[in-house]
Amino acid sequence: MRLPTGRARQTALEVAGREVVITNPDKVFFPQAGHTKLDLAKYYAAVAGGALRGIAGRPIVLKRYVDGAEGDPFFQKRAPAQRPDWIETVEVRFPSGRTAREVVVRDAAQLLWIVNLGCIDLNPHPVRAEDLEHPDELRVDLDPGPGASWGDVRRVALIVREVLDEHSLRGWPKTSGSRGMHVNVRIHPRWTFDQVRRAALALAREVERRAPERATSKWWKEERHGVFLDYNQNAKDRTVASAWSVRPTQDARVSMPLAWDEVASGGLHAGHRTGAHGRPRRRVGWNRRRRGIAGEAARAVRCAGSRGPQRRALAPALQEAWRRAAARRALKTEARRERRREGPPRPPVNTTAHHRCEGGA
């Protein structure tokens, strides 16, 4: 439902039994890809089932891109004072001793509410609102340095899995949405942030010992090579983009959950592309990325286990996103064909001289 409000326009999306207002829905958030704020909101509505698995019940730092992906973001730890009464918050204490009431998302309506604030990616803390001092997630951030390939990232990730398996821990891999990979490890919330960070450092050093030519745990950039295991992402004040997060890249890449056999096979890479009608297709090659968030929604519907009525309920949103993307592609294709038909530009005609000749006859 689209509601005009003077010069501005807004749209209300119905999710989780609530109507969430999306202001300035036609504002372009990804200029090169052509995706609008409404496209972003509909994407998150479509993948909410998967996205909530990584953020539900956790305090979230709001990283707001009010001018879109190409603008400068700002971090907002404190929840806005003007907020609906159905937005949950919790008081978080930082290492500096300061406190802030941060937003806690538990359903799709709350998720879309923060998206309307300009949040492109989702940045939850590794703790639950019920216990803010004991992380229930250890995060392994694989950050490829200069010269490191996607193959190096995959091989290091498989060694991470090997070490985790030896300690009866299960890691859940996902692309970072850029060049790297994240492995999230769910743990019992009984250890402090410092203990979890030291465990991540021990893991990084063991991986480095097993693959010294590809992996490094060195903190100073001058000493690094290959893939850096950034154990400091487990510090108390750090957050990492969660699974299904759209990243603020030109082509709106998404941090995609992976299966370990996908990591091992090498049949994918840091990004994905979308085929005709938004159907995902895998390609090998560093520079080939998934185009558009509509295709991510399509894969999310399958991966998140949505079937039957749930999937049919998502169909209108997906079809509209695909229609808009197809219309943009058609316009660009027609413009290219028109330029080819016209050929190179012709030299200007001196119409004055032409008329003088006619008059002299």
Q: What average pLDDT does the structure give for the chain?
A: 82
pLDDT of residue 314: 47
What element of type H or E holds 109?
A: helix 108-116
Is pLDDT above 90 for 340?
no
- CA distance linking residue 140 with residue 204, whole number of Å: 8
Domains belonging to the chain, first-starting first, are 133-238+257-268 (3.90.920.10)
- CA distance linking residue 66 with residue 29, whole number of Å: 9
pLDDT of residue 313: 45
Is pLDDT above 80 for 243?
yes
Is pLDDT above 90 for 335?
no
- CA distance linking residue 160 with residue 209, whole number of Å: 12
Q: 204: which residues sit within 8 A by CB, 6+ positions away?
A: 140, 215, 217, 229, 231
For residue 96, which phi and psi values (nearest 5 degrees)? -70, -15
Place of tokens 């859940």: 172
The contacts found for 260-268 with CB under 8 angstroms, 24 or more apart, are 260/158, 260/161, 260/173, 263/154, 263/157, 263/158, 263/161, 263/173, 263/181, 264/154, 264/158, 266/151, 266/154
* Span of 122-131, 165-174, 277-286, 307-316 with lowest mean pLDDT: 277-286
Q: Which is higher by pLDDT, 66 or 222?
A: 66
pLDDT of residue 319: 53
pLDDT of residue 312: 42
Q: How far is CA 266 from CA 124, 144, 286, in A?
A: 29, 16, 11
- The pLDDT > 70 percentage for the chain reads 75
Give the sheet arrangement for strand 227-229, strand by strand: 171-175, 181-186, 137-144, 227-229, 215-216
pLDDT interval class at 218 (50, 70, 90) = very high
CA 145 to chain centre: 21
For residue 98, which phi and psi values (nearest 5 degrees)? -75, 160
- CA distance linking residue 42 with residue 25, whole number of Å: 10
Mean pLDDT, residues 314-319: 50
pLDDT interval class at 273 (50, 70, 90) = very low
Q: Which is higher by pLDDT, 312 or 333?
A: 333
How many CB atoms are located within 10 Å of the residue 96 CB? 7
Q: How far is CA 47 from CA 51, 87, 344, 352, in A?
A: 6, 20, 46, 64
pLDDT of residue 291: 42
Q: Which of 231, 260, 248 is nearest to 178 (CA)?
A: 248
pLDDT of residue 341: 74
Mean pLDDT, residues 152-165: 97
Mean pLDDT, residues 195-213: 97
pLDDT interval class at 334 (50, 70, 90) = confident
pLDDT of residue 252: 93
pLDDT interval class at 110 (50, 70, 90) = very high
